[in-house]
Chain A
Amino acid sequence: DLLVIGGGSGGLACAKEAAQFGRKVAVLDYVEPSPQGTKWGLGGTCVNVGCIPKKLMHQAALLRGALKDAQHYGWNITQPVHHTWSVMAQAVQNYVKSLNWGHRVQLQDKKVKYFNMKGSFSDAHTIRGLTKAGKETIVTAENIVIATGGRPKYPTHIAGALEYGITSDDLFWLKESPGKTLTPFVFNVSLECAGFLTGIGLDTTVMMRSIPLRGFDQQMASLVTEHMESYGTKFLKRCFPTKVEKLKGNRLQVTWKNTDLGTEETNCFDTVMWAVGRAPDVKTLNLDAVGVKTNSETGKIIVDASEATSVPHIYAIGDITEGRPELTPTAIAAGKLLARRLFGQSSELMDYDNVPTTVFTPLEYGCVGLSEEAAVQCYGADNIEVYHAYYKPLEFTVAERDATQCYIKMVCLREREQRILGLHFIGPNAGEVIQGFALGIKCGATYPQLMKTVGIHPTCAEEITKLHITKRSGLDATVTGC
Chain B
Amino acid sequence: QEAAKYEKKVMVLDFVTPTPLGNSWGLGGTCVNVGCIPKKLMHQAALLGQALQDSRKFGWQFSEEVKHNWMTMTESVQNHIGSLNWGYRVALREKKITYENAYGEFVGPHTVKATNKRGVEKLYTAERFLIATGERPRYLGIPGDKEYCISSDDLFSLPYCPGKTLVVGASYVALECAGFLAGIGLDVTVMVRSILLRGFDQDIANKIGEYMEGHGINFIREFVPIKIEEGTPGVLKVTSKSTKGNEIIEGEYNTVLLAIGRDACTRKIGLDKVGVIINGKTGKIPVNDEEQTNVPYIYAIGDILQDKLELTPVAIQAGRLLVRRLYAGATTKCDYVNVPTTVFTPLEYGACGYSEEAAVEKFGEENIEVYHSHFWPLEWTVPSRDNNKCYAKIICNIQDHERVIGFHVLGPNAGEVTQGFAAAMKCGITKEQLDSTIGIHPVCAE
Q: Which residues of A contact B (CB under 8 A)?
A: 46, 51-52, 55-56, 59-60, 63-64, 66-67, 69-70, 72-79, 81-89, 91-92, 95, 200, 327-330, 333, 351, 355-358, 366, 394-395, 397-398, 429, 431-440, 442-445, 449-450, 452-462, 464-465, 480-482
Q: Which residue of B lies closest to A450 (CB)?
A: B423
Q: A75-B49, A329-B440, A456-B419 are in contact. Are A482 and B63 (CB under 8 A)?
A: no
CB–CB A327/B438 < 8 A: yes
Q: Which residue of B lies closest to A436 (CB)?
A: B420
Which B residues are CB-close (under 8 A) to A482? Answer: 28, 31-32, 37, 84, 88, 312
Give Cα distance in the complex from A438 to B424, angstroms.
8
Chain B CB within 10 Å, residue with most, of A56, A59, A87? A59
Q: Do most interface residues of chain A lie in helix, strand or loop, or is the interface mixed?
A: helix
Give Cα distance in the complex from A330 to B51, angstroms.
32
Q: Which of B350-401 contact A (CB under 8 A)?
A: 350, 378-379, 381-382
Which A residues are CB-close (under 8 A) to B41? Answer: 73, 394-395, 397-398
Chain A CB within 10 Å, residue with most, of B184, B340, B416, B433? B416
CB–CB B311/A457 < 8 A: yes
CB–CB B340/A454 < 8 A: yes
Q: A74-B184, A91-B382, A456-B313 are in contact. Are A67 and B60 (CB under 8 A)?
A: yes
Partner of B419, one of A81, A436, A443: A436
Which B residues are CB-close (under 8 A) to A355? Answer: 438
CB–CB A458/B335 < 8 A: no
Which B residues are CB-close (under 8 A) to A91? Answer: 57-59, 382
CB–CB A460/B416 < 8 A: yes
Stretch at the interface among B73-81, B117-125, B260-268: B73-81
Q: Is B242 an interface residue (CB 8 A)?
A: no
CB–CB B438/A356 < 8 A: yes
A-B contacts, 27 listed (Cβ < 8 Å): A51-B442, A52-B378, A56-B382, A63-B51, A63-B55, A74-B71, A89-B59, A329-B439, A333-B438, A366-B440, A398-B80, A429-B416, A435-B420, A435-B439, A435-B446, A437-B423, A439-B423, A440-B427, A440-B429, A453-B423, A456-B342, A459-B342, A459-B416, A460-B416, A461-B419, A465-B419, A482-B312
Which B residues are CB-close (under 8 A) to A431? Answer: 440, 443, 445-446
4 other contacts beyond A435-B439, A452-B335, A456-B422, with CB at 8 A cut-off? A394-B37, A437-B420, A437-B424, A445-B423
CB–CB B59/A442 < 8 A: no
CB–CB B422/A356 < 8 A: no
Which B residues are CB-close (under 8 A) to A358? Answer: 440, 443
Q: A55-B378, A445-B427 are in contact. Are A458 and B37 (CB under 8 A)?
A: yes
CB–CB A74/B70 < 8 A: yes
Q: Which residue of B lies closest to A431 (CB)?
A: B443
Which B residues are CB-close (under 8 A) to A351? Answer: 436
Give Cα distance in the complex from A166 to B302, angstroms.
59
User: How far, in Å, is A427 (CB) from chain B's closest CB?
Assistant: 9
Partner of B413, one of A51, A60, A429: A429
User: How far, in Å, is B215 (CB) from chain A's closest CB?
Assistant: 18
CB–CB B58/A51 < 8 A: no
Q: Is B91 an interface residue (CB 8 A)?
A: yes
CB–CB B341/A456 < 8 A: yes
CB–CB B440/A87 < 8 A: no
CB–CB A442/B52 < 8 A: no
User: How far, in Å, is B190 (CB) from chain A's closest CB?
Assistant: 22
Q: Is B294 an interface residue (CB 8 A)?
A: no
User: How far, in Å, is B134 (CB) from chain A's closest CB?
Assistant: 14
CB–CB B445/A432 < 8 A: yes
Which A residues are CB-close (under 8 A) to B427? Answer: 440, 443-445, 449
CB–CB A454/B80 < 8 A: no
CB–CB A200/B438 < 8 A: no
Q: Is B48 an interface residue (CB 8 A)?
A: yes
User: How far, in Å, is B255 (CB) from chain A's closest CB?
Assistant: 17
CB–CB A440/B423 < 8 A: yes
Give Cα distance in the complex from A57 to B50, angstroms.
18
CB–CB B61/A81 < 8 A: yes
User: How far, in Å, is B156 (CB) from chain A's closest CB?
Assistant: 13
User: How far, in Å, is A88 (CB) from chain B's closest CB?
Assistant: 3
Q: Which 8 A-B pairs have the closest CB atoms?
A: A436-B420, A74-B73, A88-B59, A461-B419, A435-B445, A431-B443, A439-B424, A437-B420
Q: Is B426 an interface residue (CB 8 A)?
A: yes
Which A residues are CB-close (under 8 A) to B232? Answer: none
Q: Is B444 an interface residue (CB 8 A)?
A: yes
CB–CB A432/B69 < 8 A: no
User: How far, in Å, is B51 (CB) from chain A's closest CB?
Assistant: 4
Q: Which of B410-437 contact A (CB under 8 A)?
A: 413, 415-424, 426-429, 433-434, 436-437
Q: Is B36 an interface residue (CB 8 A)?
A: yes
CB–CB B382/A398 < 8 A: no
Q: A76-B69, A329-B441 are in contact. Are A462 and B313 (CB under 8 A)?
A: yes
Partner of B60, one of A64, A78, A454: A64
Q: Is B138 an interface residue (CB 8 A)?
A: no
Chain B CB within 10 Å, residue with most, of A66, A357, A439? A439
CB–CB B416/A461 < 8 A: yes
Q: A73-B73, A395-B41 are in contact. Are A449 and B423 (CB under 8 A)?
A: yes
CB–CB B440/A480 < 8 A: no
User: How far, in Å, is A347 (CB) from chain B's closest CB?
Assistant: 14
Partner of B312, one of A81, A436, A457: A457
CB–CB A76/B66 < 8 A: yes
Give Cα distance in the complex from A22 to B266, angstroms.
67
User: How far, in Å, is B295 (CB) from chain A's closest CB?
Assistant: 27
